[in-house]
Structure 1
Amino acid sequence: MVSRRMSIQQKILALLLGLALPPLVLAGWLGLSALDRARETAVDTGASALRDQAEQVLLTRAADKARFYDLGLNAVEQQVGAVATYATTRYRSGPFELGPERVWVAPAPSPALLARHSQDVAFAQQMIRMLQSSVAANGLVSIGYIALETSGVIAFNDDGVIDALLEIQPFDPRERPWYLAAREQGGIVWTNTYVDAHTKLLATTCAQPIYDAQGNFVGVVAFDLLLQTIQQDLLALDVGEAGYAMLIDEAGDVIVQPDLEAGDSPWNRPFRSENLLASSSAELRMVAEAMLDQSQTYGLAMLNDQEQPAYIAYAPIPTAGWHVALVIPAAEVTEPAYLTSQMIVQRQAQFRNQLIGLIFSLAAIISVLGLVLSFSFTRRIDVVRQGVQAIARGHLQERIPPVGNDELGELATAFNRMGRKLAEKIQKLEENAQQLAALNEVSNELKGILDLNQLLERIPAAICERFAFDRAVVYLVEDDHLRVVSAWFGPEGLTQAHQFKLVANSHPLLLEGSTIEADVIRNGKAVIVDNPWNHPGVEQHKQAISASDAYVQVPIFGREGRAIGLLSADCQLSERKIGVEDATRLLTFASMVGLTIENVQLFSDLERQVAQRTQELRAALEVAQLADQRKSDFLASLSHELRTPLNAIIGFSTVILDEIDGPLSPPQREDLTSINRNGRFLLYLINELLDLARIEAGHMVLEIAPTDLTEVIDDAVDAAQGLVRERSVQILQNIPSDLPNVAADGNRVRQILLNLLSNAVKFTERGSIIVSATVLDEVNDQCELQRMVVVRVSDTGIGIPAERLEEVFQEFVQIHGQRSRLSGTGLGLAIARKLVEAQAGRIWVESAPGRGSTFSFSLPLATPVATTSLNPIA
């Protein structure tokens, strides 16, 4: 008869259950009985009274909160009205002076827009201080602003808003809902909920239009209220843990509730929130209809909220047409009856005292019996613990002595078995770590070899040195066969290795053949050959020279997983048996070798191509430089040769036109005038070619000196007036009286201005050409700020397409085709660019089709000590 032994776990469970279960069941029964009686008493006596009190409190809180917000919103309306009245009076008292304050001009502020709408900008700047004081006086208002109709100018009480608008531009206040509502209503309005462009939060706006003395619409004054501010105030209401408050507008839309956020709604699209009139709950729709009924003011109703009965109390906010609604679950109304009942407190105190006494009694009994029971197996546990600690300290050869046949004995046996396994694993890990270290050393060594032949010669020697092989051979794939590229048969086997290489390559191993090598390439697997003398896949002529009794062969893989060769190694001299571990190590080494071989091949090919390409580019550069120099010399020589007869033609035709040699008939005068005009135009073209040739040849010298830019601009504008004498075009100047001198060549600056003015006249049919100048800070090539004078030539001409702005300063480029070919060669702007850059400045253009063009160039300010220098243009 086999007796069933009782385990330690069973003994402990039997003891604890036998001693603790009866008292715990008794204590639980007493406690539950007392709690049931107390709960029934509290519910019967207090639930009804609490419901009546809660309904009255909810109505009172809703009415108080509605009156509070009505006063607050009314105060906002009064502030908006006061600012609007002040703005109307102030607007009629213009004109205004520009100030330093920042304002916004739609679609985005720029110097041109600010200058164009200077009066609106100045008026908006005058209003900023009034907006700041008004907003500071009301905690509900987040921001105040005034927007104007004609210019899209808008001023804020906080100029930080403009930085935010710059990130989302374009922004036009005349398209915002508060502006449209105020303009359409003609009086003060409260807007629907929308996403604020500045904060990306939900907001509502109180807005009022302003008008001029003739009653014409001028703009809108508006104050924003972030709904988040109201939401935080509503959430502060004491409506219980599950209760909440919300605001509903006159259309039934929820504008404030705990979980209402802007989310991903864009600022420039209408925001849609929940509409109670369209709710799926019939009860909620009825409450919303009663709430929005003008004949009712306050109300209280019961409905199902999230499938639970709840109270909803509401009250109106007349100023904005909104309603405050408070929602609280009915269960929270009666919950205090269970929490405050004195009888429950007494029963709980009695139950607690009884339970404490039982726990102490059980603890004493369990402690005594636990000490007696644990003594029987404490000694054996100590033995197991000491053995486990020895294993944990790394003494894997330690063994735990037998401690019995129960769970402790099985545990000791399991730990002994674990110690043996850990010792075996650690030994194997150490061997693998040594192998990885060897692989890493070989890899680092081979990576440093950039010559392919040297690398191939080193690989078989490294295999023998690092992996305990005696001989090794490297094969590489060439076309449809394998070729031995290197072999290492030991320091004393150099001759045999050379003979093996010659014999193996004399009979190529075809990739489609039946040899072991071909099979390794095709299958991509390592092979250990232990009977090469009788194996059908071994080439016997190669076997005869190697005389190997066993060897291993592994494929060499490249980057794309394609076999590019194989490694073969044996232990012929040491007669060591080749195992699976040898094949695994050699296969890992082959994977690394394949990448190294391909890297060196790519490096060799790249080095050769770079050298060849460098030589070709150097020859081409010399030819191009010679051709460019000859072209420049030819243009300079030809221009000089053509100017002499042209000056004679122009001079003699001028003398004849002055009738020094006698009177002319009308046909003769017309012919001579045409000769003189075309001769001058041809001379102008030759001068442009000559200037370009001088610049490219490095023969033009600039006389850099302090230059009065105002005088140069006046001279250039006077000279250009003759170009617009018979056209509907005006040439105007906007030059500051205190414009400082620049470090430049005055004659060349005049030439730059004449080229720009001529170009502007050429493409401007009507309108104006404005020459302006200002002082700005620019970052130079050394990344330092430098004071520069920027000169701008702006026209109202046909403009330039955006995709061709980079081409206008190139030589012989004419953007508008036939139109520009009638009066130029396409060299004027190219010469201007070279002259500006030679004087340490830069030139650029801003333009759009149909909107005219603005050509700008900068020149450095003259130093305090006036010095003259000659700078040749290279």
Structure 2
Amino acid sequence: HLRLEEAERAVARAEAASRAKSEFLSRMSHELRTPLNAMIGFAQLLALDKEAPLAPRQHDWAQQIQRAGWHLLELINETLDLARIEAGTLRLTRTAVDLAALAGSCRELLAAAAAQRGLQFVEELAADLPPALADETRLRQVLTNLLSNAVKYNREGGSVTLRAHADADGSRLRLEVADSGIGMTETQLAGLFQPYNRLGREAGGVEGIGIGLVISRHLTELMGGELTVRSRAGAGTTFTLTLPTAGPGSAADAPDPTPTAGPGARYRQRRVLYVEDNETNAEIMRGLLLQRPQIRLEVATLGLDALQAARRQRPDLILLDMQLPDISGLELLRHFKNDDDVAGIPVIVVSADATAARMQQALTLGALHYVTKPLELNRFLMVIDEVLEGLETQWTS
């Protein structure tokens, strides 16, 4: 009995330590996203500024800053994902996923990097490919990681081949990503799925911290699938991703159309209230909305001041940060939605808190969208345009 109790206490301590690590990394993720938003945001504003356009060389420098910032964000997200997986707190939602469409979007994402190295993309997808039963966001993450590795560890002028077919009985899908690169030795293969193991390639100039494949295997297993690899030194590498197919009752919802907006969005004068106590973030928003002269932006740094401003000004849209000096963003959102004068005003949360639980809380309380920092400014502007153009339709109908 004593041994059993001690074993149970040891398990409890290990689980508590894992949860504490996950919570710490979540907080660190939030703290790192705020300065990243400034770095990436101002670099984007420099590149977008039409009144004082950069010289071509300066424009390239601004793009380099952006790329470095987005890469750092990717590393932060990978570390956070691994902590969530180890703590057992990562939640997935499986639906029917169109593999051909997903593969196409992943390929487009890496097209520029492949072209830079003279690589040829080859697709061999079965014509009657059934949908996969998977979490679409996480499957995209896995496939992007596999394709990215196939590009990074390939030889100049080589090829990346993507194959997909269903098993004979139609119950499983097999997706292969093959490259013509340097391959791996048996020793390297043995350490491939160990966290932070770069397989001796640390000095090779390829970015990464050695956890992408570890996360990909865990995510695949959480989706009821399997990720395997075969490779030979000098003869390339092939990863095989096996997933269950979706049954007739698990059809995926149609994807939301991507919002599009031209340089002159079609809506009249609008007032936007931005609730944000960080002056740097507020300045980025001011700079972005210079592209929309019909928008008048007001900034409130305190939650209670924002509530009074919303009642007084009746803005057309509220942008809400989650971390405020006086009250939490969730509490303020609750006030907005319980106040008859402002309950109908759409609210977009703009936050450095990227945890799924916080997103779900905000959406449940009535937020229209939840956008995480750092902001991809053009895409965020499309979201604003979509909301305000929707109000214009209501106003004219």
Bin of the TM-score, shorter chain as denominator length = 0.5 to 0.7
**Residue aligning to 1:303:** none
**Residue aligning to 1:741:** 131
* Distance in structure 1 (CA, Å) of the matches to 2:91 and 2:21: 20
Letter in 2 for 1:809: F
* 8 A Cα contact 2:132 2:243, kept in partner: yes
SS in 2 for 1:701: coil
**Residue aligning to 2:21:** 631
SS in 1 for 2:74: helix
Structure 1 residues 731 and 786: CA distance shift in structure 2, 3 A: closer
> Are residue 693 (structure 1) and residue 83 (structure 2) matched?
yes
* Offset of residue 723 of structure 1: 1.5
**1:375-399 Cα distance to aligned partner (Å, 9 max, x none):** xxxxxxxxxxxxxxxxxxxxxxxxx
> Are residue 789 (structure 1) and residue 173 (structure 2) matched?
yes
* Distance in structure 1 (CA, Å) of the matches to 2:105 and 2:53: 35
What count of residue pairs does the alignment treat as equivalent? 253
Letter in 1 for 2:62: L
* Distance in structure 2 (CA, Å) of the matches to 1:728 and 1:712: 23
**Residue aligning to 1:521:** none
* 8 A Cα contact 1:757 1:793, kept in partner: yes
* Distance in structure 2 (CA, Å) of the matches to 1:855 and 1:830: 13
TM-score by length of 1: 0.27
* Offset of residue 619 of structure 1: 4.3
Correspondences of 1:656-695 after superposition (within 5 Å) = 656-660=46-50, 662-664=52-54, 668-669=58-59, 671-695=61-85
**1:551-604 Cα distance to aligned partner (Å, 9 max, x none):** xxxxxxxxxxxxxxxxxxxxxxxxxxxxxxxxxxxxxxxxxxxxxxxxxxxxxx
> Are residue 769 (structure 1) and residue 160 (structure 2) matched?
yes
**Residue aligning to 1:827:** 211
* Distance in structure 1 (CA, Å) of the matches to 2:135 and 2:228: 20
* Distance in structure 1 (CA, Å) of the matches to 2:8 and 2:89: 26
* 8 A Cα contact 1:790 1:856, kept in partner: yes
> Are residue 715 (structure 1) and residue 105 (structure 2) matched?
yes
Give the one of 690, 702, 710 matched to 2:92: 702
Structure 1 residues 711 and 664: CA distance shift in structure 2, 3 A: closer
**Residue aligning to 1:857:** 241
TM-score by length of 2: 0.58
* Offset of residue 691 of structure 1: 2.4
SS in 1 for 2:121: strand
> Are residue 815 (structure 1) and residue 206 (structure 2) matched?
no
* 8 A Cα contact 2:18 2:83, kept in partner: no
Give the one of 782, 793, 798 matched to 2:182: 798
> Are residue 650 (structure 1) and residue 34 (structure 2) matched?
no
* 8 A Cα contact 2:160 2:180, kept in partner: yes
* 8 A Cα contact 1:814 1:820, kept in partner: no
Letter in 2 for 1:827: I
* Distance in structure 2 (CA, Å) of the matches to 1:833 and 1:700: 14
* 8 A Cα contact 1:789 1:859, kept in partner: yes
* Distance in structure 1 (CA, Å) of the matches to 2:100 and 2:56: 43
SS in 2 for 1:642: helix
* Distance in structure 1 (CA, Å) of the matches to 2:241 and 2:57: 46
**Structure 2 runs not aligned, ≥5 long:** 254-355, 357-397
* Distance in structure 2 (CA, Å) of the matches to 1:661 and 1:628: 51
* Offset of residue 667 of structure 1: 6.5
Correspondences of 1:4-19 after superposition (within 5 Å) = none
* Distance in structure 2 (CA, Å) of the matches to 1:802 and 1:731: 27
**Structure 1 runs not aligned, ≥5 long:** 1-610, 778-784
**1:759-795 Cα distance to aligned partner (Å, 9 max, x none):** 1111102310100012226xxxxxxx88210100000
* Distance in structure 1 (CA, Å) of the matches to 2:101 and 2:208: 27
* Distance in structure 1 (CA, Å) of the matches to 2:220 and 2:204: 23
* Distance in structure 1 (CA, Å) of the matches to 2:106 and 2:58: 33
Letter in 2 for 1:802: E
* Distance in structure 1 (CA, Å) of the matches to 2:151 and 2:82: 22
* Distance in structure 2 (CA, Å) of the matches to 1:665 and 1:867: 50
**1:718-762 Cα distance to aligned partner (Å, 9 max, x none):** 211122121121121100111111211222211111000111111
> Are residue 844 (structure 1) and residue 239 (structure 2) matched?
no
Structure 1 residues 656 and 842: CA distance shift in structure 2, 3 A: same
> Are residue 726 (structure 1) and residue 116 (structure 2) matched?
yes
* 8 A Cα contact 2:195 2:210, kept in partner: yes
**1:20-76 Cα distance to aligned partner (Å, 9 max, x none):** xxxxxxxxxxxxxxxxxxxxxxxxxxxxxxxxxxxxxxxxxxxxxxxxxxxxxxxxx
* Distance in structure 2 (CA, Å) of the matches to 1:821 and 1:612: 53
* Offset of residue 815 of structure 1: 1.3
Letter in 1 for 2:143: L
* 8 A Cα contact 1:728 1:765, kept in partner: no
Percent identity of paired positions between Structure 1 and Structure 2: 38
* Distance in structure 2 (CA, Å) of the matches to 1:718 and 1:672: 22
* Distance in structure 2 (CA, Å) of the matches to 1:868 and 1:626: 36
**Residue aligning to 2:260:** none
Which structure's residues are more often helix, by fraction?
1
RMSD of aligned alpha carbons? 2.6
* Distance in structure 2 (CA, Å) of the matches to 1:667 and 1:773: 42
